[in-house]
Each structure stands twice: as structure tokens, then as C-alpha cells.
Amino acid sequence: MNLQEIKPYTECNVLIVDDEPISRMLLESILEPVFRCTTAESGHEALLYCAENAPDLVLLDMNMPDINGLEVCKTLKQSPVTSQIPVIFVTSTLDVESENACWEVGASDFVMKPVNASTLTHRIKTHIQNKLRTEFLEKMTFHDQLTGLYNRTYLTKEIPLLIRQVARDQSNIGAIMIDIDYFKLFNDNYGHLEGDLCLQKVAKIISDTVKRPKDAVIRFGGEEFLVLLPYIDYQGTKIVAQQLVEAVTNASIPHGKGIEGRVSISAGFAVWKAADVVDDDYSALVEDADISLFEAKERGRNQAKG
Ligand code: GH3
Ligand code: MG
Ligand code: MG
Ligand code: MG
């Protein structure tokens, strides 16, 4: 597949880091016609920029007065926000020791000054392609295609790691199981394609309502969603579950056969001490939430039950 269709090079942000204005200008003049370039004149500025903007690639000068390039690269590789950004060193002196140091701090490549414009451009293209491909595959592996939410693969692969982390911090994990009310009737009434659009709308409402960065929204089944909330108590989970129910009714998505003529959801929730999840088996927690969901349905739907 041609990744340029997803993100053309002109939209790929390349950060040029060099303390010498002439070097920055030269690199920029070579690269600007092909990529979207930004410059930074110090290691400090580069780190701040990367944490805020996560560029697609960093061209990094090795010798800079404040923080040298090796330190900058090391710091970038340590943070989950910036660790995936490929770093290419641009250097005028490269002995075996510095060359090895580049690889050790996680560089993707290096080029010598004075640079050959064509080689530099092609190397950058290659590393950006690799990054985009990895991101694309990750997205395909861990996300549901219809709603863009996390899928079951994400749940089985990543959630145990999250729960272990929460257990180490001696905190809780909340689970909310959500199911759209009378969704079969929605499909029967409006057709399957309109049903898909409705699923997308509900998914967006859920992810807009669940805001903390470590919270995870998973498409658990056809019209069922699982929300996992680390570091939360019973009351907090209950509030989120109620907000979710309200947010969906407030969106007033028409559903002739639904409650008060609109789409609604039922939500069941449970909260566990993360340490009580044994052997990475979170299924009992999910089952607890599922039992509450069943009760919410029994009690008339369009409500949260814990
Ligand atoms: P309840 O209020 O008890 O939850 O009733 P319901 O009709 O929502 O429950 P049921 O489980 O009987 O129906 C779920 C429906 O969801 C049936 C299925 O056709 C529909 N569904 C599941 N996945 C998709 C999907 O990807 N797209 C569409 N359009 N419909 C789907
Ligand atoms: Mg320098
Ligand atoms: Mg269902
Ligand atoms: Mg349903």
C-alpha cells in the first residue's frame, strides 16, 4: 500500500536541530521543498518542541553547546511520547566511538557534513516511510475499523500491562460495560448502514466523554463497548457511567422504536482493586460489569447500574 496517500511528504514534519544558523539554513533549503520543516537552535528547544508536536523525524546536530545531540536523542527515546520519532544525526566529525554512541542512544541513521542533498532526502524518506508503516500496522492491529476505538486485540495484549501497573500503584480499575438499547430494532427500522453510522456516533460520544489519557474505550462486541478506567474509585466510576448514559440521550439520535424516540444505552459497572486481578485474568471484572449491565437492562434500560 502507498503510504503517501495517507500522509504526503509535504505534510511530514521534519525538525532540524543545529546550533549554527548557516547549517540550519542550508538543511532547510534542501529539505523545505520536499517536507514541512521546523528548526530548533538548541537541544533544549528541540526537546520542548518534540514533546509538544511529535514531529515525523528529527535531524540532529551532534555538537551543540547546551545539551549535545547524543543526550537529546537519549531523552527522546526514553519518553513514550517521543520514542517512536526517528532521529538522524548530522555530523562533521565521526570517529568509530561517536558512530557507536549514535546507535547506542537509539539513532536511526547518520549523515556526514557536508551533506549530499539527494542522499539526505532519500534517507529521510526511507525512515519516514518505516515510521508511517509501523503506525499504520499498529492502528490496524489495535483499532476497530468501523469506530476507530480500540479492539479486542488491544484488550488482550495491552490491558493486562495497564492493570499490572495500577496494581503496583495499589490503585483500582473500573470497568463499564455498555450496550445500545433496542439496536436490533434500529437496524430493522433504518437499515444496517444507518446502524453502522449510529455505532460510529455512539462510539464518538463515549470517547469524547471518557477523557483521561489512560482510560481505554474498546469496542467489545457488535454494539457493546467496554470502558476501562484505571486509578478510580466506585463513586468516580459511577459518575462516568451516568455521564455516558446522559451523553447518549442528550445527543438525541432519532430511534423511532427506542426510548422516547432516541438512541439510548445501558451501562453496568464494577470496580476492583487492580491487585485482585490474578494472573492477568481480568475476565471476572468484566463479568461483574456485565452482570450489572444485565440488571440495568432488566430495570428498563437507559440507565447505569453498579
Ligand atoms: P437490548 O436493548 O436488549 O440490548 O436489545 P438489542 O436489540 O440491542 O440487542 P440484541 O443483542 O438482540 O441486538 C444487537 C444488534 O446489534 C443485532 C445486530 O444486528 C446489531 N449489530 C451488531 N454489530 C453490528 C454492526 O457492526 N453494525 C450494525 N449496523 N449492527 C450491528
Ligand atoms: Mg553544532
Ligand atoms: Mg448486545
Ligand atoms: Mg443492545
Q: Which is the catalytic residue, given 41, 158, 223, 246?
A: 223
- The tally of domains found in the chain comes to 2
Looking at ligand 1, which atom is closest to the CA of residue 184? 7
Please indicate whether residue 257, judged by its CB atom, sits closer than 6 Å to ligand 1: no
Task: Looking at the structure, tell me whether residues 190 and 224 fall in a common domain.
Answer: yes
Distance of CA 84 to the CA centre of its chain: 12
Please indicate whether residue 180, judged by its CB atom, sits closer than 6 Å to ligand 1: yes
- Residue that finishes a domain, picked among 140, 173, 195: 140
Task: Looking at the structure, tell me whether residues 285 and 173 fall in a common domain.
Answer: yes
Strand ranges, E, within 106-195: 109-112, 172-180
- Residue that finishes a domain, picked among 119, 140, 161: 140
- pLDDT at residue 77, as a whole number: 97
Looking at ligand 1, which atom is closest to the CA of residue 183? 8
pLDDT digits (tens, 9 = 90+) for 149-190: 999 999 999 899 999 999 999 999 999 999 999 999 999 999
Please indicate whether residue 187, judged by its CB atom, sits closer than 6 Å to ligand 1: yes
Q: How does residue 281 score in pLDDT terms, banded at 50, 70 and 90?
A: confident
Task: Looking at the structure, tell me whether residues 282 and 159 fall in a common domain.
Answer: yes
Cell digits of residue 194? 444507518
Task: Looking at the structure, tell me whether residues 101 and 162 fall in a common domain.
Answer: no
Task: Looking at the structure, tell me whether residues 70 and 48 fall in a common domain.
Answer: yes
Residue 2 pLDDT > 70, yes or no?
no
Active site residue 223: yes
* Mean confidence (pLDDT) of the chain: 95
- pLDDT at residue 3, as a whole number: 64
Name the closest-CA residue to atom 12, ligand 1: 184
Q: Strands across the sheet with 304-305, in order? A: 216-219, 224-230, 172-180, 265-273, 304-305
ipTM of the complex: 0.96
- Residue-number span of the structural domain to which 72 is assigned: 3-140
Q: How far apart are CA 128 and CA 105, in angstroms?
A: 19
pLDDT digits (tens, 9 = 90+) for 46-76: 999 999 999 999 999 999 999 999 999 999 9
Q: How far apart are CA 138 and CA 154, in angstroms?
A: 10
- pLDDT at residue 120, as a whole number: 96
- pLDDT at residue 37, as a whole number: 98
* pTM of this structure: 0.79
- pLDDT at residue 4, as a whole number: 66
Give me the mean pLDDT over the 28-51 stretch: 97
Residue 5 pLDDT > 90, yes or no?
no
- Residue that finishes a domain, picked among 117, 140, 163: 140
Number of other residues whose CB lies within 10 A of the CB of residue 173:
26
Task: Looking at the structure, tell me whether residues 261 and 207 fall in a common domain.
Answer: yes
Task: Looking at the structure, tell me whether residues 105 and 240 fall in a common domain.
Answer: no
